[in-house]
Amino acid sequence: MSDAWLVRINALGIKIWERTFGGKKVDQAFAVVTVPGGGFMVAGLTHSKGAGNADAWLIRIDKRGNPLWEKTFGGKGFDAANALALVPGGGFIIAGETRSKGAGKTDAWLLRLDAKGQLLWEKTYGGINHDRFISVKPTPDWGFIVAGSKNSTGTDGKKGGRSWVLKVDGQGRYRSSER
């Protein structure tokens, strides 16, 4: 149906290569980062591979666009990797959403991976409704700042439908400071 499509261009905008990744169903790429030492890491979702409806999808490719390996994360529900960042000292942090894990209909989801894509930890955040992360950045104190949307009722009693920014430490822990 659709594949993830990557195009590498040079500084003049001239195409160096283009590649598609995926299978017979809908597969999408949402984020890409340059990997130290060459190549790229791509994050998104796949309906063609993995354990469920859609799984978070990570593809490591070399500088020529050739796949080196790929991994899926998730369960039987809809799961997606919406954002990706390099972690100082090595590895990756993925921000997304999961319907397979957590307490809500959709929970915001963080996954910390080593340089080879092995899962170091994962955490879910949110309430009983639809919550998701769409951006993640490492912070100077070895933690992460994530942004997304929160549609669950907060500790302040306010209903959802609002932007959400959360600061977590290097293990994904946070102290609630919602007002």
pTM of the model: 0.89
Q: Would 92 be classed as within a structural domain?
A: yes
Q: Would 176 be classed as within a structural domain?
A: no
The pLDDT tens digits for 43-73 are 999 999 988 799 999 999 999 999 999 999 9
**What is the CATH number for 60?**
2.40.128
Close Cβ partners of 171 (under 8 Å, ≥ 6 residues apart): 121
DSSP string, 8-21: EE-TTS-EEEEEEE
Q: Would 65 be classed as within a structural domain?
A: yes
Q: Would 109 be classed as within a structural domain?
A: yes
How confident is residue 108, by pLDDT bands cut at 50, 70 and 90? very high
CB 19 within 8 A of CB 42: no
Q: Would 175 be classed as within a structural domain?
A: no
Of the candidates 56, 176, 65, 70, the residue with the CA atom closest to the CA atom of residue 106: 56
Q: Would 66 be classed as within a structural domain?
A: yes
Tell me how many domains the chain contains.
1
pLDDT at 179 (0 to 100): 42
CB 79 within 8 A of CB 73: yes
Domain range holding 41? 4-168
Q: Would 153 be classed as within a structural domain?
A: yes
